[in-house]
Structure 1
Amino acid sequence: MPDSKMPFILIITILLILSACERNTTAEPESGSWAAALKNGSGQLTAFYVPAGGFAWHDGERLTGVTVDILRKFAGWAEDHYGVAVDLDFRAEDDFRTFMQTVVDAGEGVIGFANVTITEERKEIMQFSPPYMHNIAVLISHDSRPALERLEDFGVVFSGLTALAFEGTLHETRLRKLAGDWYPGMPVEYAHSNAEIIEKTASGDTYVAYVDVYNYWRAIEAGAPLKRHTIGDEAAEQFGYILPHGSDWGPVLHEFFAHDGGFLNSETYRSIMEEHLGPGLAELLIP
C-alpha cells in the first residue's frame, strides 16, 4: 500500500525550495549602496576630500567650494528626482596619497574629490564621475628667473634650482620627466599642499614647480612674484570625482551630470564656478 505521507512531504519540500529561491532573489542590497538608499528613501554618502581654496574650504564653520557645492547639488537632485535623501558626510584628508588609497579601498557609499585628473591608468583602479572642470597644469618659478623658451633648455634656465612637488600627483610625474630629460640629477623636494608650493616658490629664486592654473591665477592676483613658463603648459586635463571600482553610485552620478542637457551647461554650474573662482578664472576653466 503506498505511503500516504509521501505526497505531503514532497509538497513541503518543494515549497521550502521555492521559498529559499525567493529569499535569494530578494536579498537586501549592500549597506551604503545607492540601491539601499533607493529602497530606504535615504542613505549616507561619505565624501573624502583634500582641502583646497576655492574648491573645498571652510568659510567660518561651513564647508564650501566648487566641488562641495556640486556634490550638494547632486544630493538635492537625488531627492527631487528619486525621493532619496542623501546625507553627505564630509571628511578631510590632507595627504593626497592617503586620500586616494582610502577611496580606492573603500566599499559602497564612498566618494572622493581633490581635483583628481582623469587618466586611463587611474581608471584601472578607481571609478570616475564625468569631468566637472577642465584644467591647465602650469610650470612656475620665481619671477626673477628668465623665461623658458624651449623645453630642451630646462637644465640651463633652472640650473641650481630644486624641483618642488606635491607627492603622488601628476605634477610630480611631469617634473620628474622634465628633469630626467633635460636636467638629470636635479634635486626634488616634497610639499604637503599647493599653498606650500606657491609660498615656497614665491619666497625666492629656489624652486621650480607645477601647479594647477587656478592656484597660479589666485597667487598672481594676490601679488605673488611668480613667473609662468607657458612652454611647459599641459592643457589636456579634466578633473572628476572618484569612487571605488564597482560602486553603484557611479551610474546615478553620471545621470546627474547628464540631466536637463548637462549640468556643466547649466546656469547653476556657472554660478558655482564664478562664486568660488571669480568670473575670469571660471571662464578659463568651464568646458
Structure 2
Amino acid sequence: MRFFLISLTLFVHFSNNVLADSWQQAKADKKAELDLLWFTSRPFVQHNAKQELIGLEYELIETFGEYLQQKHQIELKLNWIKDKSFNNILTNINSSSKPNKFGVSAFSITEERKQQVKFTNSYLPDISVLVSSQGTPIVRDLEQVNELMNNMVAVTIKGTTYEKHLLQIKEELQMNYEIRYIDSDENLLDHISKSDHMFGFIDLPIYLIWIKNGRDLTRQNFFTIRGIGYGFILPQSSDWDIPFNEFLADENYKTKISSIISKYLGNELYQFIDSSYDREQLGTYILTKEKEIQLALIKNANLKLEEEKTYKRILLLGIGVVLLFLAVIMYLFYNNQKTTKLIIAQKDQIEIQQKDIRQKNEQLMNRNAQLLALNEDKNNLVNILAHDLRSPLNNILGLSGIMINESEKLSDDQKDYLDKIGVTANRMNQMITKILNPSTLENNNKEILKEEVNIDQLVEDLVSRYRPAAINKDIEIEVIKPLNNLTLETDHMLLFLVLENLLSNAVKFSPADTIVSLKVDKKESHIIFEVNDQGPGFTEEDKQLIFQRFQKLSAEPTGNESSTGLGLSIVKKYVKDLGGKVWLESEVGQGSSFFVSLNA
C-alpha cells in the first residue's frame, strides 16, 4: 500500500511538470513550452558582445509569451536552440512531428516553402534588392546586364531566397556567372564591399541600414523583388500559428510590435519599408530614400565640421592665452610648441574630413545620374505615344491618296473620304490632347475617362478605317458579333487604340487572299474581343517577347510596312490601364488570335 502511494505521488508530480506542446493542450493546461530553432541573422536574431540573445525576432517571441500570459493566462517556457545553419532549420522543422517547434531566422514566405512548412502571418514586408561592388556601373537594359554580370561573381547563402533569385535570373537571362556561397552567419554585404567584381541579393532593410551607417554599394534598380513577407515557420501539423497570428493582429500589441521593429531598423526606415511595399514605382521610391539618407549624412558631416571649427576657435583662444605667458617664462614657450603641433594635427584631420565630404558630393552626383536615367524612361513614354499617332496618320494619308487619284469632280464616295479624313484628324487631335497631357507625362500614367461605349459603332468605325488598307492587299476583314447592341463602360479612346493596334498588325502581317476577323462576344461578366489572322503565327521564342517593348520578332510585314516593335507593348499597357487582360493563341504557320477581355 505504501509503495502504491509513493508511485502515485511520483506520477502526479511527473504529470504536473510535463508542459503542453500543442496550442489546444496549452489552453487546457495553462502552461506550455516552445522549442525555438535559430541561427544568426542580423538584425533579426543574434548574440551580442555579452553572448546574450537580441534581435527583433527574439523580442517578438518574448512579447508573444507576455501576450499569452495576459490574454490567456498561459505560462510559456521558451527554449532557444541554436541550429547548425539557416537551411538546417528548414529541414528540422519540415521533418519534426512536434507541434511546438518554431523556426526563427528571418524566413521569407514563399510558395515553395509553404509546401514544406507552415508559416505564421507576415510581420514585416519582404523586399529584396540586388547590390554590387562600389563603383559598378548601373545597368539599364538586358544587354548591359549580360555584359556586366557575366564577368562578376555572385555571393549568396545556401537555401535562402537570395540564392533562389540569383538562380532564377541566371536561368531566365541565360547567364553563366559564378555563384559563391558563404555561411549564413556571415555578413553578405561585407563580402561584396571588399571586392570590385561581386554582386548579390540582400533584404532592403539591411541594405538601408548599411548606407545609413555611411557605407556604400551600388544598388541595381533593374532588380527589385517584392516577396510575401517575413514570418516564423512551424511544422505542418502545428496549431501554434493560431495564437501567434492573433498576437500579430491584436490592436493592443500592434504598437509594441512596431516599437520592437523600429528599435532595430530605426523608426524612419521601418515606416519607409512598411509603406513602400505596395508602391507601383518601387525602384524610384527607394532611390529617393537613398538620396535622403545621403543628404542626411552630408548634413551630419557638415554639422560635425562646424563643431570642430568651434573647437578650433576655442583652441586658438587658449593658445593666445598661452602666448601671453610665453613672454614671462620659457616653460610656457615649450607648451606653446606642443599646442602648435596639436593644431596642425587638427588641421590635417579637418582636411581629411573635407575630402570625405567631397567624396559624398560625388556620390550624390552619381545618384543624380540615376535620376536622369529614370527621366529617360519617361521619354520612352513619349516614344510610345508617337507610335500611337502613326496609325491614324496613315489613315489620313491613305484616304488623301485615294482622293488625289480620282477625277477633279468629287463623287459621293470622295465626299465620304473627306468626311473620314476629318474624323481621323479629329481623332488625332483627341489623342494629342489626352496622351501628351503634361500631367500624364509627369506621372507616367493614363487618366481613365469611363463612358458608355457602343460596341457596334466602335467596331464599324474601326473596320471602316482599315478596310481600304486591307483591300489594297486583297485581304477581307470579317466581323463576327453573335450579340448586337452591346455597350461597355470604359475609356473609348484607349479601347479604340488597343483594337486598332491589333487589327493594324493583323492586316500588316497577313498575306494576300486571306481573312482577318474581328469577333466580339459576351461571356458571363466579360466582353471578349478576338482579332484573328491567317498569317505566319508566332514561334515559342516570339511568345516570350511578344508584349515587351522594342522587340523585333521573326515575322515580317507582307506589304513592306514598317514595324517599331512597340505596338503590342502598348496594347499590354492600355489593357492593364482598362483593368482587363490580353493574351495570344498561335502556332507557327497557322495564324494567330489575340484576345482582349474586359469587365462588362
TM-score between both structures, scaled by the size of structure 1: 0.82
Listed as ranges, the matches of 1:1-287 within 5 Å are: 32-59=21-48, 60-106=50-96, 107-193=98-184, 195-260=186-251, 263=253, 266-286=254-274
Q: Could you tell me how far 1:161 is from its partner in structure 2?
A: 0.6
Q: RMSD in angstroms over aligned alpha carbons?
A: 2.1
Q: Conserved in 1, the CA contact under 8 Å of 2:64 and 2:247? A: yes
Q: In 2, Cα distance between the equivalents of 1:267 and 1:39?
A: 29
Could you tell me which amino acid in structure 2 is paired with residue 89 of structure 1?
Answer: N
Q: Could you tell me how far 1:252 is from its partner in structure 2?
A: 1.6
Q: Could you tell me how far 1:70 is from its partner in structure 2?
A: 1.1
Could you tell me which amino acid in structure 1 is paired with residue 80 of structure 2?
Answer: F
Q: Helix, strand or coil for the counterpart of 2:229?
A: strand
Deviations 1:18-70 (A, max 9, x none): xxxxxxxxxxx995212232222211101112212221122324312111111
Q: Could you tell me how far 1:201 is from its partner in structure 2?
A: 0.4
Q: Could you tell me how far 1:94 is from its partner in structure 2?
A: 4.8
Q: Which has the higher contact order (CA 8 A, sep 6+)?
A: 1
Matched positions, count: 256
Deviations 1:193-214 (A, max 9, x none): 3643211100021211001112
Q: Conserved in 2, the CA contact under 8 Å of 1:164 and 1:209? A: yes
Structure 2: unaligned runs, 5 residues or longer = 1-17, 276-600
Could you tell me which amino acid in structure 2 is paired with residue 118 of structure 1?
Answer: I
Q: Which has the larger radius of gyration?
A: 2
> What is the identity percentage for the equivalent residue pairs of Structure 1 and Structure 2?
22
Q: In 1, Cα distance between the equivalents of 2:273 and 2:84?
A: 24
The residue aligned with 1:5 is none
Q: Could you tell me how far 1:111 is from its partner in structure 2?
A: 0.8
The 1:139/1:74 distance shift into structure 2, 3 A limit, reads same
The structure in which a higher percent of residues are helix is 2
Q: Conserved in 2, the CA contact under 8 Å of 1:164 and 1:208? A: yes
Q: In 2, Cα distance between the equivalents of 1:135 and 1:35?
A: 31
Q: Helix, strand or coil for the counterpart of 2:125?
A: strand
Q: Could you tell me how far 1:192 is from its partner in structure 2?
A: 1.1
Q: Conserved in 2, the CA contact under 8 Å of 1:115 and 1:239? A: yes
Could you tell me which amino acid in structure 2 is paired with residue 270 of structure 1?
Answer: S
Q: Conserved in 2, the CA contact under 8 Å of 1:142 and 1:226? A: yes
